[in-house]
Amino acid sequence: MFKILMINLVIFTVYGLLIILNTADADRGFNIAVGMGFCIFTQVMVNVLAGLVFLILGKQQWMKYFFISGAVLAPIGFVTWLILLSIYG
């Protein structure tokens, strides 16, 4: 379970850093608001979709891992998004 959660958190960190570091100072707040919001939403939905697929396939353990990973990523992503908006917005 920790592998899936860690992979998700590493992916979250990488696209967060890419958005922050590859954006001009004038556009950074907008790109964080739209880009990171979209990325966080997409990543959580991919985890939920993977959990549903494993539920249908009957693999309860993997379903639980992806649902927990999505549930952990949603508040962490939202709080990080708000903090970055308050810094760069």
Q: What's the CA gap between 31 and 24, in Å, rounded?
A: 9
Angle at 57 between CA 51 and CA 61, to 5 degrees: 55
The confidence score (pLDDT) of residue 55 equals: 95
CA separation, residue 55 to residues 12, 44, 45, 58, 75 (Å): 24, 16, 15, 5, 23
Based on the structure, what is the number of domains in the chain?
Answer: 1
Write out residues in the chain with pLDDT < 50, as ranges. Answer: none
The confidence score (pLDDT) of residue 25 equals: 84
Which domain does 47 fall in, by range?
2-88
Cβ atoms within 10 A of the Cβ of 18, count? 13
In our burial notation (b when 16+ CB lie closer than 10 A, e otherwise), range 54-70 reads: beeeeeeebbebbbebb
The confidence score (pLDDT) of residue 28 equals: 87
